[in-house]
Structure 1
Amino acid sequence: MKSFYHILLGATTVILLAPGCSKSFLQRTPQSSLEEAALTNKKGVNTLLIGAYGALDGQDFKDGDMVNLSGGSGYAVSPDNWIYGSVCGGDAHKGSDPGDASAILQIATFVGNATNGFFNDKWRVDYEGVRRCNFVLHVLNNVTDMTADEKKELAAEARFLRGHFYSDLKKMFDHVPWVDENSASYSQLHVDDYKVPNDKDIWPMIEADFKFAADNLNEIQDVIGRANSWAAKAYLAKTYLYEKKYAEAMPIFEDVIANGVTAKGTKFALVTKFHDNFDAFTENNSEAVFSIQYSANDGSGGTGNANQGEMLNYPYNGPFSCCGFYQPSQDLVNSFRTDPNGLPYLDDFNQHPVKNDMAIGSNEPFTPDAGNLDPRLDWTVGRRGIPFLDWGNHPGNDWVRNQQSAGPYAAIKNVYMQATQDKYYDGNGWAPGNAINYVLIRFSDVLLMAAECQAMAGSLDIAQDHVNAVRERAANPVGWVKTYIDPDHPLAGYTNTPAANYKMEAWPAGKFSAGGQAWAMKAIRFERKLELAMEGHRYFDLVRWGIAQTELTRYFTYEKTITTDIATGSFAPKNVRYPIPQRQIDLSVKGGSPTLKQNDGY
């Protein structure tokens, strides 16, 4: 999809990007009638739709460098929300040195205020996606060379994408303004028409977008990356879940589980190997409900089609050019400890810590932890002495920029394979890019969200079945990390020997029913922490469960005994939402008063 998007920019830059980035989304000047007339046909409106898909990653290739659609750094707006969802959720530290991109550390310790530029970048980029969707819908009204069914399907794609952008804004800032294609005339528009208050709950409008998409999207798409009706149903059910409408969400999730197919027509199912969800060679598989498509070395030039949102998040030194950010926390690593029965320690996992190599040089002896571990750990976290994909055993401190500050670990899920780097690594930018898709919703995510709904309905055995499906996949030795045949030559392949003492089992029959609803929900929440770790979900999950202050206070209390970077970290009630960017409030002034209202506490 992205390669088509860059063709689009060459033809219609003035339409999609005017005016300059000094203006906010809410102050866009109107497109001219001549420009609209040139696009009011089937080819033109489809080109605009591709531009809306192109906004999913928030990136733009400008003046020979990769920037986000607001003009800032790509990592500030990465669609996987590694900063806002995972670092702020306790999955990981910012990483690198404390002073490197210190604005992220402010956000991670919850002292970031409304003037932090990262919040403004995130706001602007999501609203740029909204604006593109609205323009598609506006132009579509005047297209005459499409059938009614074709127009309805294209409108459904645009509304699906708009629902995605608005749901991201809602999760981030909560109180955001709703602007759609009917808010004002695109041909006769004053900037004040876009100064819309943020005083309404927009979940109902997001619901309506996803409902329309679910009812009108095709089940099978002829282009990989385009949304289908099942992806829209999954998003709709997720929207209900965030609103705590469990009864409405549950049948939709169950329908997706029982009958859903990918846009290619493949029935949704968990892939056998967990890591196949994070390898460009095996992406767009049966577990990918909806993904952002990336590519590298595809002839488009530059880094425009590669994943640049994670450009900082590779081990420092070694075979990677940048940058030592996004280091998993000890709290996360300890969560993968299993008991003698292969089950997680739901409450006291930090009392069973996994051995680390803090303050041990890479030239000094170190023996990795020999205790029981969930095998997903080593597909999620790079740790000393364990194979780091096919790059060799992680050497510890030599691949860490500042161990004392942010700990001894490295992220894995975003890292490309050595064996296929010629095809899937993009080195054209100042930091690494790759072709690994980001899966916005995975099938395992659907199973665990359905488990929540079933548990809230009292159907604890069904909830357990969904959780066990996820655990049973992870427990299959076929998908475990194995040792190298020759550690000095990792590309020579692997043995059949597990790289650590992996011991993992499904929950025994009747365990959820015996434990009761509260216990079952605890087990489901913990399973999401393990399965979806480092994928940008954790903070938003904690907030919607109403346990963010409890969990993040516990996290800071424990984690600051290990590292120094978050010593001042503290979570307050106001932090269940991020601040409305002050720049946007300043730009919203109408009649002498700002239209946008700041969130409470900021």
Structure 2
Amino acid sequence: MKALTRFFLLPLASLLMAGLLWTCSDDFLEVAPRGSLDENVLSSEAGIEGALLGAYSQLGGRGNYFSGASNWANGSIQGGEANKGTNDGDFTEINELVRYQLQSTSRIPSDRWIGIFDGITRANSALKLLSLSDDVQLTEADRARIEGEARFLRGHYYFQLKISYNQAPFLTPELSVEEQQMVVSSEDIWDEIEADFRFGYENLPETLAEAGRANKWAAGAYLGKTLLYQEKWGEARTVLNDVVTNGKTTNGQSYGLLDNYADAFNAEFDNSKESVFAVQAAANSGTTNVANPDMVLNFPHNNGPGNCCGFFQPSFDLANSFRTSDGLPLLDNSYNSEENRLVTDFGVAANDAFTPDDGPVDPRLDHSVGRRGIPYLGFGPHPGVAYVRDQPYGGPYTPKKFVYYADQEGSLSDGTSWTKGYGSMNYNIIRFADVLLMLAEAEIESDNLDAGRDLINQVRERAALSSSMIMNDDGTPAANYEIANYDSFADKAEALSALYMERKLELSGEGHRFFDLVRWGVAKSELDRIIANEQMFLPIAYSGASFTTPQDLYYPIPQGQIDLQGSDVLPQNPGY
């Protein structure tokens, strides 16, 4: 038996040695993933369209709360329009935004970077598959459309990176994975972003069969916005004027303002004539993944619609900004003074009597901010503290935009998950009022003050019409609504001041404010003023808050990404 054993052991040992020698080669690692499709299979029309839809699906930031296009935290909380809300111990990472205390290891910059690059990868995948496709499979028109949509989406994601981090490596589909890892981050990516939107503007059709896709005019609006950020006033004016004059929705309806301001945030009016480009959402489809997850935390706490979670409470500064005098906003920022600031129920118990402010206000206040005693989306008068989790921490207000109406619960809101706050309302990345105000800015910066004033007044006239939409049960106006047009501007400085304020009032809570303040060069002065005001009422929420330049103008590059790529490829932003 011993000899027999040795006979079998010797060949076995030889086989083991041979196996060890064979494993010294890494060829065995080159195995195609099981369950995956080859690029040549995916480069069919169906495969390319699937990849393109995947790029669209990342617009809402599926998977985390900080990479979605709404920018409710990145743009509105950072811009002083809203407090974190809820209480100090809930989702503490957002406290760093409120207090401007982000670090390179913070969650928010990391999640945002990863989520946005996920969108870029998906857009580039569609472009790569398109380059591999057979010309027989796609018409020339389809090829131009698909490339236009994919480049539009890549432009959107890079635009978000640029305004958030000021730098990024610009990746293209022809680069290998190894080559992409060596692309050095750069601040000079406006040209690439502009080129992507310009391609869409010049190649996308004006109308499309499906709502939610980017058409020529959506690309033109985003191109105009990109030019505006670069202070290319004349070019921006030309493109934006084309969009305003000739632009159409994907179904061919000419752009315009809805009669009622609040309808721009009402799911019943999704993809309306005011919607230039929007993140699509739906409720009760069998999965909340296609609802509006970006806003799911931002409903009144407990007793109100959504049953959760009390985040994103409008700031005192924002609410006070809607104070008017002779129908016009207080451009000198005196709205926060004791004489002018709104009367609120801050510190007033739910069972104590309270009379809402009776001073003159812009009607957009009560389409945008939930406040005690004012009708709240069909749920009755806003009850004040009963809708607020921790009033001394978050203040007296609750969000109103992107919250569903009482008669929409269960139909245009989805209650199949942990909260009823999964709404079906779209988020407009660009809506027509925004385009009008961007064009007004380009006109004013080009010294066409009257043209700029007319565009601002067009937005204000719609706001005036909307005052009749906020009524008490007895048919009386819910507040003292007073709004008027500008007759003239004394000079360019006054015109710009009016424009800056109009963007604040019209676009509040829509994620634009912080990025506007940065590009206008007034972030430091504005945010210092707002911090000082909020600290008087919310000392815990704003404890240690301080805005430092240039550090707080942009997010830090996530340290985890620098560790992977190296600081020579991803240099850190100043101050971190």
TM-score, normalised to structure 1, is 0.87
Instruction: Please name the residue that 1:78 is paired with.
Output: 68
> Is 2:460 the partner of 1:503?
no
Question: 1:594 offset after TM fit, Å?
Answer: 4.8
Partner secondary structure for residue 440 of structure 1: strand
Moved more, 423-432 or 542-551: 423-432
Instruction: Please name the residue that 1:13 is paired with.
Output: none
Instruction: Please name the residue that 1:468 is paired with.
Output: 457
Judge conservation of contact 1:272–1:479 (CA < 8 Å) in 2. no
Alpha-carbon deviations, 1:36-69, whole Å to 9, x = none? 122111111111111111111121xxxxxxxx1x
Question: 1:183 offset after TM fit, Å?
Answer: 2.4
> Is 2:302 the partner of 1:327?
no
Cα 1:90/1:30, change in 2 over 3 Å: farther
RMSD over aligned Cα, in angstroms? 1.6
Unpaired segments ≥5 residues, structure 2: 1-30
Instruction: Please name the residue that 1:317 is paired with.
Output: 302
> Is 2:168 the partner of 1:182?
no
Partners of 1:578 and 1:193 in 2: CA distance? 22
Partner secondary structure for residue 455 of structure 2: helix
Judge conservation of contact 2:61–2:68 (CA < 8 Å) in 1. yes
Instruction: Please name the residue that 2:358 is paired with.
Output: 370
Instruction: Please name the residue that 1:18 is paired with.
Output: none
Question: 1:477 offset after TM fit, Å?
Answer: 5.0
Instruction: Please name the residue that 1:443 is paired with.
Output: 432
Partners of 1:545 and 1:91 in 2: CA distance? 17
Partner secondary structure for residue 328 of structure 2: coil
Alpha-carbon deviations, 1:351-396, whole Å to 9, x = none? 2101011110010000000000100000100001101111111111
Instruction: Please name the residue that 2:236 is paired with.
Output: 249
Question: 1:78 offset after TM fit, Å?
Answer: 3.2
Judge conservation of contact 2:261–2:466 (CA < 8 Å) in 1. no
Question: 1:182 offset after TM fit, Å?
Answer: 2.3
Question: 1:305 offset after TM fit, Å?
Answer: 0.6
Question: 1:428 offset after TM fit, Å?
Answer: 2.5
Instruction: Please name the residue that 1:24 is paired with.
Output: none
Which of residues 555, 559, 562 in structure 2 aligns to 1:582?
559
Cα 1:30/1:209, change in 2 over 3 Å: farther
> Is 2:261 the partner of 1:274?
yes
Question: 1:548 offset after TM fit, Å?
Answer: 0.1
Which of residues 221, 227, 247 in structure 2 aligns to 1:260?
247
> Rg: which structure is higher?
2
Task: Give identity over the alignment, percent.
Answer: 42
Partners of 2:32 and 2:123 in 1: CA distance? 15
Instruction: Please name the residue that 1:63 is paired with.
Output: none
> Is 2:380 the partner of 1:392?
yes
User: What does 1:41-440 align with in structure 2 at a 5 Å threshold?
Assistant: 41-59=44-62, 68=63, 74-144=64-134, 145-184=137-176, 189-190=177-178, 193-298=180-285, 301-319=286-304, 320-339=306-325, 341-347=326-332, 348-351=334-337, 352-431=340-419, 432-440=421-429
Partners of 2:412 and 2:186 in 1: CA distance? 45
Judge conservation of contact 1:179–1:194 (CA < 8 Å) in 2. no
> Is 2:525 the partner of 1:531?
no
Partner secondary structure for residue 505 of structure 1: coil
Instruction: Please name the residue that 1:10 is paired with.
Output: none
Question: 1:304 offset after TM fit, Å?
Answer: 1.0
Alpha-carbon deviations, 1:298-342, whole Å to 9, x = none? 2xx231110011111111121332111100011001100011x11
Amino acid at match of 1:463: G
Partner secondary structure for residue 533 of structure 1: coil
Partners of 2:117 and 2:468 in 1: CA distance? 40
Partners of 1:447 and 1:96 in 2: CA distance? 35
Judge conservation of contact 1:75–1:312 (CA < 8 Å) in 2. no
Alpha-carbon deviations, 1:285-304, whole Å to 9, x = none? 11100001000012xx2311
Partners of 1:337 and 1:472 in 2: CA distance? 17
Partner secondary structure for residue 263 of structure 2: helix
Judge conservation of contact 2:162–2:187 (CA < 8 Å) in 1. no
Question: 1:194 offset after TM fit, Å?
Answer: 2.2
Moved more, 560-569 or 474-483: 474-483
Moved more, 517-526 or 566-575: 566-575
Question: 1:79 offset after TM fit, Å?
Answer: 2.1
Amino acid at match of 1:309: D
Partner secondary structure for residue 419 of structure 1: helix
Partners of 2:447 and 2:112 in 1: CA distance? 38
Partner secondary structure for residue 445 of structure 1: helix
Amino acid at match of 1:560: Q
Question: 1:480 offset after TM fit, Å?
Answer: 3.1
> Is 2:568 the partner of 1:597?
no
Judge conservation of contact 1:57–1:78 (CA < 8 Å) in 2. yes
Question: 1:75 offset after TM fit, Å?
Answer: 2.4
Instruction: Please name the residue that 1:40 is paired with.
Output: 43
Amino acid at match of 1:43: A
Partners of 1:533 and 1:200 in 2: CA distance? 28
TM-score, normalised to structure 2, is 0.91
Judge conservation of contact 2:467–2:481 (CA < 8 Å) in 1. no
Partners of 1:579 and 1:395 in 2: CA distance? 40
Partners of 1:404 and 1:337 in 2: CA distance? 23
Partners of 2:351 and 2:259 in 1: CA distance? 37
Question: 1:193 offset after TM fit, Å?
Answer: 4.0
User: What does 1:453-492 align with in structure 2 at a 5 Å threshold?
Assistant: 453-477=442-466, 479-485=468-474
Moved more, 537-546 or 344-353: 344-353
Judge conservation of contact 1:78–1:310 (CA < 8 Å) in 2. no
Q: How many residues align?
A: 536
Amino acid at match of 1:282: F
Partners of 2:188 and 2:415 in 1: CA distance? 43
Partners of 2:183 and 2:49 in 1: CA distance? 28
Instruction: Please name the residue that 2:537 is paired with.
Output: 562
